[in-house]
Chains A and B, each alone.
Chain A
Amino acid sequence: DGGITQSPKYLFRKEGQNVTLSCEQNLNHDAMYWYRQDPGQGLRLIYYSQIVNDFQKGDIAEGYSVSREKKESFPLTVTSAQKNPTAFYLCASSPPGRNTEAFFGQGTRLTVV
């Protein structure tokens, strides 16, 4: 099945620790995105990548880092510098073009304990 896979579904982290969220797609999409969703806030863009080995900051990049070494993979690291990391994280991909839909993974719920 073609799709976008995020893992793990639930993640717990101690304060002060970095943690990496996985996102893999087999849709052959060039563009990939990371969003954060908080209650009442909607989806906010963290980072995006339009092509391998290139990525750009979104609206709330502080405290996060990404890499795009392979077309299929776009992992997100939540660093200890992120002040309020507890949230629902969504990864998405889209085919080329400006009028194309985004395909989302099932999300990772990160909780800082």
Chain B
Amino acid sequence: SQKIEQNSEALNIQEGKTATLTCNYTNYSPAYLQWYRQDPGRGPVFLLLIRENEKEKRKERLKVTFDTTLKQSLFHITASQPADSATYLCALVRGSQGNLIFGKGTKLSVKP
């Protein structure tokens, strides 16, 4: 069956360091992958989309890579800040209907 997995439930890092989150998928050949941020008690907010023919995409301190051979996406936050603390979700489009399916998320905590 098709699966999307975020291997770490939680990640704790020190302020100023780079956070790296992992998203793996199986039995998919997605054309693109999305990353969202979710704060407690709120809906997810879209951050970045990367297409299969893009190896890397950047937005300010965020960087996403997409390796279709490894079936993996990495999400990096450089110079992390306590305000970056949140749960980060990766998502793929499933099937012809275009529904998004989500990983379970990684809760990032950035300590000052």
- What string of 1s and 0s marks CB contacts (under 8 Å) between A68-109 and chain B? 000000000000000000001010101001110111111101
Interface of chain B, main secondary structure: strand
Kindly provide the distance from the CB of A21 to the nearest chain B CB, expressed in whole angstroms: 13
CA distance A58 to B99 in the complex (A): 9
Interface of chain A, main secondary structure: strand
Kindly provide the distance from the CB of B31 to the nearest chain A CB, expressed in whole angstroms: 7
A-B contact count (CB 8 A): 62
Residue from A33, A42, A99, A107 in contact with B32 in the complex, judged by beta carbons closer than 8 Å: A99
Kindly provide the distance from the CB of A59 to the nearest chain B CB, expressed in whole angstroms: 8
Residues of B bordering A, CB below 8 Å:
9, 31-32, 34, 36, 41-46, 49, 51, 89, 91, 93, 97-105
Residues of A bordering B, CB below 8 Å:
6, 31, 33, 35, 40-43, 45, 48, 50, 56, 58, 88, 90, 92, 94, 97-99, 101-107, 109
